Amino acid sequence: KVERPLDVQEGRLGLPVVGEEQKIMEAIYNNPTVVIWGATGSGKTTQVPQFLYEAGFGSPESLNPGMIGVTQPRRVAAVSMAKRVGDELGGVGERVSYQIRFDSSVSSKTAIKFMTDGILIREIANDFALLKYSVIIIDEAHERSANTDILIGMVSRIVDLRATMSREDEKIKPLKLVIMSATLRITDFLENPNLFRNGTPPLIQAEGRQYPVTTHFVRRTRRDYTEEAFEKVCKGHRKLPPGGMLVFLTGQNEITALAKRLNETLANFQSQSNGHKVRISASEAPLETEDLELGNIAPGFDDFEDDAESDGDSSSRGDDRDFDVEDSTPASSTVHILPLYSQLQTKDQLRVFEPPPENSRLIVLATNVAETSLTIPGIRYVFDCGRAKEKKYDRMTGVQNFDVGWISKASASQRAGRAGRTGPGHCYRLYSSAVYERDFEEYAEPEILRMPVEGVVLQLKSMDLQHVVNFPFPTPPDRQSLAKAEKLLIYLGAVSNEGKITSVGREISNYPLSPRFSKMLMIGHQHGCMPYTIALVASLASLDLFIPKNQLDLSVNVQSEVYTNEDRSADEARSQLKSHYNHAHHLFSRHSPTSDALKGLTALCAYAYAPLREAFCKDMFLSPKALSEASNLCSQLMSIVRSNNPTLLAPNVSLKLPSPSKTQVAALQQFTAAAFIDQIAILASASVSPPDLPRNPTRAIDVPYLPLFPINVKRRADIDMIDIAVFVHPSSVLAHLATKDLPTYIIYSHLQRGTPATIEGAKKPRTR
Ligand code: ADP
Ligand code: MG
């Protein structure tokens, strides 16, 4: 039935996966679950759905009438792969569709459906047995995104369920599960009997078809990798024979900035405008795991102790020689520069698949979107900065953030592989082999271990799963934190006492944030507070907006023995600095003398007004990096709130806000309390059984509080109350109060270990 275009027919013959068609199909017929492992480009994503289609899966009159569902971790992959497979199938191409949030081409004819994993998770909530499907392909499983892991656990259960259902009702067909991976990073959980109850699924390997890629390291790893990328790409463009370039960077801001510079430097013809505007319309405003991408993050790499001498490879050669390639065809004269990152509109992302204008060199500046799922035609040279923006999660503070970090060796090899798809290629690594050997992990940690457990639990609850602790995670988070997270969700009203998701929970799960913050956004429109709530969430989600007092630059030292006039003026300068410092903090605390949360909000809004932001930060003792990140987060939260409910936030709202009213201040404090409802401490002296104190504290920071839900230690009769007490952190606004003015209850965002001076020998957590 399938008549493929001629060039497609020929191209397919060379793909390793096509050579294994029979083996793959036999395995799928004979097993409920099959794992396919093959290098990037071997044909997994494009070919396996076609094998299934040709074998009758997805046609109403066959034994397996349900659709072929294929999940992708990223939207651009779902859309572009649906298009590619549609093209390959020629006349029946219309039977291939995609579905991503806000956009779908699915029709009654659809037999093969590409979708993001987030979409399938939502579908499971409405159709627990996935009756619309005859087979689910979970693609790019090696990336170990949280959604992929959750889907592997969930669909493995649905496979069992469908087997049972089909035994009882012959109209219902069993469901097949195919897991596809570019690396062997998934083998560690395949033997997990909790996950695959009917034994380890068969692993079918398709050898990669790969031209040789020569890898070049630099001798010295520069901290400013965008500068390094700029220089290397310019030089490469002048010296290297024709062929597309793919440059791996970490985020949107870097990409747009580098695109602009390269265009200015390399474009010979001004008229040819490749400049690219970044726009995110509200309707495109994204909401999958890839959504929150903070820009402007300065790399946190302080120093690189490259050991150049020990490098025995190409890294010790001169840089210039790296660009000496045997082929001496003159380089293309113009450049065609395209960005590729997840927040870019889909239609703009798809431009990388179009052939570049004649005689011009395609230069794609990409995030790790281009690492495995996409094949960009014509790429011969890869420039790899070796870093990626990763979701980081601080279990202690509960703060989730994006940070630039080294990629894994596995990722580096995937990136290099992108140069060898169409012919021999070169990969220029913008880091030394010493750094690679020393600092790169073999594989990155699965995402599920890097996110708030309550987010994971809510995701599972949103699929109507009642008993989360029994869930077959490929890599399980620890049971205690799962139970604790479920409690929190109950307190937030997201989950009922019976463990079922509530309507509040469904709404919260629409925000790609930790449930605490999502809850604040959900209730935060009351009393016209929406923009303030957004700023409040952004400031709570950022650490250290304020420069701590002990880091003030008091570098003027008294050195001479006699107290001179210079010393006097240095002393004066110091005391002046301290008084400015206190004044700045006083200003930020003006809306509430007892709330650190509001202080952060005030600083963030003041920053929005500042004409010169750097100078403002310096004058007001703020961290420019933290403020800039928090402002970025605000803009993203605004577009997320608008896309969830456009009526909540006027389109022109910015952070330049008037002072909040008294009512609003009170409301904002209530929203915060609602989100941290499990983190309340009571003044120890006001508790039912006040502890004995060695002496009466005179400073606020020495006054003990008792958490209402005790931390770590179980409340036992033989434990002295003082052992579970917490104290106000010296950086908190509360630290400056007189002890008699301290509030009876405090809500804290996190605890930190430290030793209050007055209680000797004891290690006490401090609250903040
Ligand atoms: P895998 O999923 O194993 O990484 P794919 O199925 O995505 O491999 O791609 C297999 C091959 O199909 C690629 O090596 C490439 O030759 C070709 N291909 C895939 N997508 C495109 C595309 N958009 N344009 C041209 N060729 C493509
Ligand atoms: Mg693929």
pLDDT digits (tens, 9 = 90+) for 419-435: 988 788 999 999 999 99
Q: Which ligand is nearest to the CA of 423?
A: 1
pLDDT beyond 90 at 284:
no
Which of 221-230, 418-427, 460-469 shows the highest mean pLDDT? 221-230
Q: Name the burial class of residue 526, with classes exposed (0-12), middle (13-18) and buried (19+) by CB atoms within 10 angstroms of its CB.
A: middle
Name which residue sits closest to atom 19 of ligand 1, judged by CA: 375
Res 558 pLDDT > 80? no
Reported ipTM exceeds the 0.90 cut: yes
pLDDT digits (tens, 9 = 90+) for 437-454: 999 998 888 888 887 788
Tens-digit pLDDT profile for residues 750-764? 877 665 544 433 344
pLDDT digit string, tens, across residues 38-53: 988 889 999 999 999 9
CA angle 481, 511, 80 (to 5 degrees): 110
Q: How confident is the model at residue 388 (pLDDT cuts 50, 70, 90)?
A: very high
Distance from C-alpha of 705 to C-alpha of 52, rounded to nearest angstrom: 63
More confident residue, 169 or 757: 169
Q: What residue owns the CA closest to ligand 1's atom 7?
A: 45
Measured CA to CA in angstroms, residue 495 lies from 145, 149, 673 at distances of 24, 22, 18
Q: What local confidence, expressed as pLDDT, does residue 332 receive?
A: 55
Whole-number Å distance, alpha carbon 545 to ligand 2 midpoint, is: 41
Q: Where are the beta strands (DSSP E) in 233-378?
A: 244-248, 334-340, 360-366
Using alpha carbons, list the distances in angstroms from residue 234 to 243, 328, 381: 14, 17, 13
pLDDT at 204: 94
How far is the centre of ligand 1, averaged over its atoms, from the C-alpha of 47 (Å)?
A: 9
CA distance 161 to 159: 5
**Higher-confidence position of 73 and 765:** 73
Ligand 1 centre from 377 Cα, in Å? Answer: 9
Do 257 and 115 meet the contact criterion of CB atoms below 8 Å apart? no
At residue 75's C-alpha, the angle toward residues 70 and 76, to 5°, is 105
- In the chain, the N- to C-terminal Cα span, in Å, equals 67
Which ligand neighbours the alpha carbon of 13 most closely? Answer: 1
Within 6 A (CB) of ligand 1 lie 15, 38, 40-47, 84, 353, 375, 377, 421
CA-CA distances (angstroms) from residue 64 to 48, 59, 138, 174, 410?
Answer: 16, 7, 18, 8, 37
Gap from CA of 377 to ligand 2 centroid (Å): 14
Which residues contact residue 515 at a Cβ distance below 8 angstroms, ignoring those fewer than 6 apart? 452, 454, 455, 458, 488, 489, 492, 494, 508
Q: Which of helix, strand or coil describes residue 453? A: helix
Contact (CB, 8 A) for 743 and 680: no
Which SS3 state, helix, strand or coil, does residue 134 take? Answer: strand
Share of the chain above pLDDT 70, in %: 85
Query: What mean pLDDT do residues 53-64 have?
Result: 92
Helix, strand, coil distribution of the chain in percent, nearest 5: 45, 15, 40
pLDDT band at 746 (very low <50, low <70, confident <90, very high): very high
Q: Which of 375, 380, 414 to mutate to test the pocket of ligand 1 (most atoms within 8 A of CB)?
A: 375
Calculate how far, in angstroms, residue 137's C-alpha sits from the geometric centre of ligand 2.
11
Cα 85 to middle of ligand 1, angstroms? 9
The pLDDT value given to residue 581: 92
Nearest ligand 1 atom to the CA of 11 is 16
Within its chain, how far is the Cα of 139 from the centroid?
19
- 704 or 315: whose pLDDT is higher? 704
Nearest residue CA, atom 20 of ligand 1?
Answer: 375
CB atoms inside a 10 Å sphere around CB 736: 17
Burial class (CB in 10 A: 0-12, 13-18, 19+), 597: buried
Q: What phi and psi, each to the nearest 5 degrees, are found at residue 709?
A: -110, 100
739-744 long-range contacts, Cβ below 8 Å, gap at least 24? 739/697, 739/698, 739/699, 739/700, 739/703, 742/683, 742/700, 742/703, 743/594, 743/683, 744/682, 744/683, 744/686
CA 493 to chain centre: 26
- With a cut of 60, say whether residue 297 has pLDDT above it: no
> Considering only CA atoms, which of 218, 233, 251 is closest in space to residue 344?
251
Nearest-atom number in ligand 1 for the CA of 372 is 4
Q: What is the mean pLDDT of residues 64-92?
A: 93
Tokens of 443: 């594989």
Residue 438 vs residue 326, higher pLDDT: 438
- Mean pLDDT, the chain, rounded, equals 84
Instruction: State the distance from the centre of ligand 1 to the C-alpha of 71, rounded, in angstroms.
Output: 16
Query: Which residue's CA is the nearest one to ligand 1's atom 24?
Result: 377
Sole residue written with tokens 């958490």: 707
Pairing of strands 680-683, 745-747: antiparallel
Pocket perturbation via mutation, ligand 1, pick of 20, 45, 46, 83 by most ligand atoms within 8 A of CB = 46
From the list 499, 424, 435, 419, the residue with the least C-alpha distance to 467 is: 499
pLDDT value at residue 374: 83
Task: Please list, in sequence order, all residues whose beta carbon lies within 8 angstroms of the beta carbon of residue 761, skipping any fewer than 6 positions away.
Answer: none
Cα-Cα-Cα-Cα torsion 35, 37, 41, 47, nearest 10 degrees, comes to -30
**Which residue lies with its CA nearest to atom 5 of ligand 1?**
43
Q: Looking at residue 561, what is its pLDDT?
A: 58
Per-residue pLDDT for 741 more than 80? yes
Pick the most confident of 211-220, 259-268, 342-351, 537-546: 211-220
Residue 392 vs residues 395, 452, 486, 510, 722: alpha-carbon distances, Å:
10, 10, 21, 20, 34
Using the mean position of ligand 1's atoms as its centre, give its distance from the Cα of residue 8 in Å.
11
- The single-letter code of the amino acid at 647 is T
Cα separation of 457 and 116, whole Å? 20
Atom of ligand 1 nearest to the CA of 422: 16
**What's the pLDDT band for 306 if we cut at 50, 70, 90?**
very low
